[in-house]
């Protein structure tokens, strides 16, 4: 049974899956909208948690939040099953959904997705795909980051849904029961922006939001003195990969968020948001520049005129830019 | 900050990419999948584009994979020298580290570390070996005596 499901290529897996699922029920919400309403933009720097032997840097909220928050804010009726103990039960539940014609989002570990070539398959457990069909033990997958839909064997999908390691998906699945025809977009956008503002500038924890960026910049300046050269370079490499590659990458999230602000400013006809969207675009370009210069610096130290302190200054500039944006957005209220 | 010689727009960064692709798409490391990128330009606003990863970015990804290969060869050497067990080799080959492998095996990390030594490997139960082989997706015989060990002695 294959559901008539329209696949759209997206930049980011979870917001792509969310927007595709919502669109299946007739409400036109594109990827940046789903990302913004779900409050997906985030920053956190956790030097005491080592992910792949380097300090952890995250540019988005934890997996599952974008789907839950964005659907809640537009008033959709959704089901999310967070955990299965028995893998075969999890697959049966998925089969039942497909029989009922419900496309279902699942969280998977990328290592077991055999349709990717080996060099794409890292142990990364936050990937999201949409399952929309099944034929004799072969599942049809709407893979948000690929242009076309993919096929996967039942046992591989089961392994991917029960990948182990840090933050394993444990068979998490989610689907939509119904979506309202005329949701209150004004309220949804407002709540989405409010959440991001709170995360980025009003969080008291010093590792989160703009404070986290400043802390990372401060630490980055110390890396060459504090660490052996190899290790400092490795830390920087992992940071650049976080900005550009892991889970779409931090710079790309800034562009997506800017696109969301642009679209909502047109929808609500609000100048405050329009101004913020332009600034967001500029900050995103600055992030991309940071990663670009860092990768050149890593590649060839002699030719590059950069140093850790210059890179950390660019990072501070990014932080300052985002602080201005979110302080501006914090002035929004429900009446505007 | 003018002295930093900034690249002004996203399009400039892409130029490098086009040059490489023009010559030969195989030059790119991630040439399998085109991804969707959002970008921003002051005059045009936000746009979408389907393209390969940046060249500069691809270079450092490739560097990481080269490093992984160096690590794998190093472990292989240690296994042949009899200092580590074949589990260490396959763990590295599957890009796992000790905590991930421990999570797959439902063992504690110290037990995994014990199995990485030759003595621990020798004393391991047959069923544990089969469980490891299942995770590494190879046969138990291959794990017991990997093909790259031609003169593997039981001691």
Mean pLDDT within B77-92: 91
For A234, which residue in chain B has the nearest alpha carbon?
B64
What is the domain partition of chain B in residue ranges? Answer: 10-53, 67-144
Question: Given this model, what pLDDT does residue A87 score?
Answer: 92
Chain A residues within 8 A of B46 when measuring between CB atoms:
255, 258-259, 262, 277, 281
Residue A22 has pLDDT above 70, yes or no: yes
Q: Which chain B residues touch A119 with a CB distance below 8 Å?
A: 29-30, 65
What are the two backbone dihedrals, phi and then psi, of residue A82, each rounded to the nearest 5 degrees? Answer: -80, -30
- What residue of A is the nearest CA neighbor of B38? A255
Q: How many CB atoms lie within 10 A of CB B32?
A: 12
Could you write out the DSSP letters of every residue in A245-311?
TGGG-HHHHHHHHHHHHHHHHHHHT-HHHHHHHHHHHHHHHHHHHHHHHHHHHHH-TTT----HHHH
Contacts of B96 in chain A (CB under 8 A): 123
Listed in order, strand segments (DSSP E) in chain A are 41-51, 54-60, 77-81, 104-108, 127-135, 138-142, 150-153, 173-178
B40, closest residue in chain A (CA to CA):
A281
Interface contact flag, B61 A245, Cβ < 8 Å: yes
Nearest residue in B to A244, CA atom: B57
Contacts of residue B45, Cβ cutoff 8 Å, sequence gap at least 6: A262, A281
- The predicted model gives A296-316 an average pLDDT of 81
Q: Is the dihedral of CA B47, B50, B56, B62 positive or negative?
A: positive
Q: Domain map of chain A by residue range?
A: 13-37+77-178, 206-329
Q: 3-state DSSP call for residue A168?
A: coil
Q: What is the mean pLDDT of chain A?
A: 88
Under the banding of pLDDT at 50, 70 and 90, the label for residue B9 is: very low
Q: For B1-154, where are the alpha helices, taking DSSP H only?
A: 10-23, 55-80, 86-93, 98-105, 109-116, 118-122, 126-136, 140-144
Q: What is the pLDDT of residues A104-148, one digit of tens each?
A: 999 999 889 888 888 778 888 888 999 999 988 899 999 888 888
Q: How far is A290 from chain B (nearest CA, A)?
A: 10
- Chain A residue numbers with beta carbons less than 8 Å from the beta carbon of B4 are 310, 314
The pLDDT, as a whole number, for residue A316 is: 93
**Residue B23 above 80 pLDDT?**
no
Task: Supply the mean pLDDT for chain B.
Answer: 79
Chain B residues 22-51 with a CB less than 8 Å from chain A: 29-30, 32-42, 45-46, 48, 50
Contact with chain A for residue B119, Cβ under 8 A: no
Using a CB–CB cutoff of 8 Å, tell me whether B81 touches chain A. no
**CATH code, residues B67-144:** 1.10.260
Q: What is the pLDDT of residues A177-233, one digit of tens each?
A: 999 999 999 999 999 999 999 999 998 999 999 999 999 999 999 988 998 988 888
Is the CATH number 3.90.70.10 carried by domain A13-37+77-178?
A: yes
CA distance A116 to A127: 13
């Amino acid at each position: 049974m294959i559901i008539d499901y329209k696949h759209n290529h997206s930049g980011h897996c979870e917001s792509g899956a969310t927007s595709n699922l919502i669109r299946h029920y007739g409400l036109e919400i594109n990827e940046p909208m789903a990302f913004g309403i779900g409050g997906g933009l985030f920053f956190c720097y956790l030097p005491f948690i080592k992910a792949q032997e380097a300090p952890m840097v995250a540019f988005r909220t934890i997996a599952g939040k974008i789907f839950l928050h964005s659907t809640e804010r537009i008033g959709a009726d959704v089901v999310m099953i967070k955990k299965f103990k028995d893998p075969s039960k999890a697959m049966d539940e998925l089969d039942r959904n497909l029989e009922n014609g419900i496309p279902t989002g699942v969280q998977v570990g990328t290592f077991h997705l055999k349709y990717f070539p080996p060099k794409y398959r890292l142990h990364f457990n936050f990937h999201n795909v949409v399952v929309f069909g099944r034929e004799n033990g072969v599942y049809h997958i709407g893979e948000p980051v690929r242009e076309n839909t993919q096929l996967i064997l039942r046992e591989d999908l089961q392994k991917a849904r029960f990948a182990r390691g840090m933050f394993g998906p444990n068979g998490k699945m989610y689907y939509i029961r119904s979506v309202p025809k005329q949701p209150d977009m004004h309220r949804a956008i407002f709540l989405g922006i409010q959440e991001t503002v709170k995360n980025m500038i009003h969080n008291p924890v010093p590792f989160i939001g703009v404070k986290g960026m400043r802390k990372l910049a401060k630490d980055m300046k110390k890396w060459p003195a504090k660490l052996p050269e190899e290790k400092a370079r490795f830390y920087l490499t992992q940071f650049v990969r976080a900005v550009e590659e892991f889970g779409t990458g931090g710079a790309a999230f800034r562009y997506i968020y800017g696109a969301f602000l642009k679209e909502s400013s047109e929808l609500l006809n609000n100048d405050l948001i329009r101004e913020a969207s332009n600034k967001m675009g500029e900050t995103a370009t600055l992030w991309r520049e940071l990663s670009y210069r860092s990768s050149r610096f890593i590649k060839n130290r002699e030719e590059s005129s950069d140093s850790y302190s210059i890179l950390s200054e660019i990072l501070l500039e990014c932080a300052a830019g985002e602080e201005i944006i979110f302080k501006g957005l914090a002035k929004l209220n429900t009446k505007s | 900050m003018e002295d930093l010689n900034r690249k002004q727009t996203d399009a400039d960064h892409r130029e490098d990419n086009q040059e490489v692709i023009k010559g030969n798409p195989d030059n790119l490391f991630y040439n399998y999948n085109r991804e969707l990128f959002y970008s921003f330009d002051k005059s045009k606003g936000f746009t979408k584009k389907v393209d390969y990863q940046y060249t500069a970015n691809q270079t450092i990804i490739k560097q990481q994979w080269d490093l992984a290969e160096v690590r794998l060869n190093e472990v292989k050497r240690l296994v042949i020298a009899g200092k580590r067990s074949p589990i260490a080799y396959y763990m590295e080959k599957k890009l796992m580290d000790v905590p991930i492998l421990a999570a797959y095996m439902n063992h504690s990390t110290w037990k995994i570390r014990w199995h990485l030594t030759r003595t621990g490997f020798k004393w391991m139960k047959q069923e544990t070996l089969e469980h490891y082989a299942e995770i590494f997706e190879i046969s138990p015989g291959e794990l017991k005596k990997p093909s790259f060990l031609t003169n593997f002695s039981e001691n």
